[in-house]
Amino acid sequence: MLYSDKVMEHFGNPRNVGVIEDADGIGEVGNPICGDVMKITISVADDRIDDIKFQTLGCGAAIATSSIVTEMAKGMTLDEAVAITKNQVAEELGGLPPAKMHCSVLATDGLKVAVDDYLVKHGREPIAGPVKSADPNFDPHEDEDDHAH
C-alpha cells in the first residue's frame, strides 16, 4: 500500500497532538472493526475554532487524517468545520488508498462530534447531524474490495 509524501509527513510529524484542557467541545469516535480510536478537542471563540488538538490510536493513515483535519479546521467557523468532507481530507493529503478512506471518515466525524458537543453544552442546536462512525453497525470497509487494515 503506497502513501503520498504528505500522508507520510503527517504520520511522522503530526500537528496539533494532545488534549485541550477544559475543552469547549470533545469528539470521541472509534471503529471497533479496525480498532482506530480518535479524540478531538476544540476551543471555540466567536463561533470559530481557535484551537484544536487530537489523540489517535490507529494506523498511519488514521494519524495523518487526524493531523490534517486539525490543520484544516483551525480558524474555521463551526459551520465551515462540519462541512469538511472525507474527500477533501484525502485530497489535502495527496490521496489515500481506498482501503484507508475510512480513516478520513473517522477524522471528520470526530470534528463533527466535537462541534456538536460544544453547541449542545451551550444550549444550542447541533449542526453536524448524525455521524456514520457513531453507528455501532458502521462498517468502514463496506464499499471496499480490500478488507485489510
Residues labelled as active-site residues: 34, 103
Rg (CA), the chain: 14
d(C-alpha 136, C-alpha 36), whole Å:
14
The secondary element (H helix, E strand) that includes residue 28 is strand 25-30
DSSP code for 105: H
Cα 101 to chain centroid distance, Å, stands at: 12
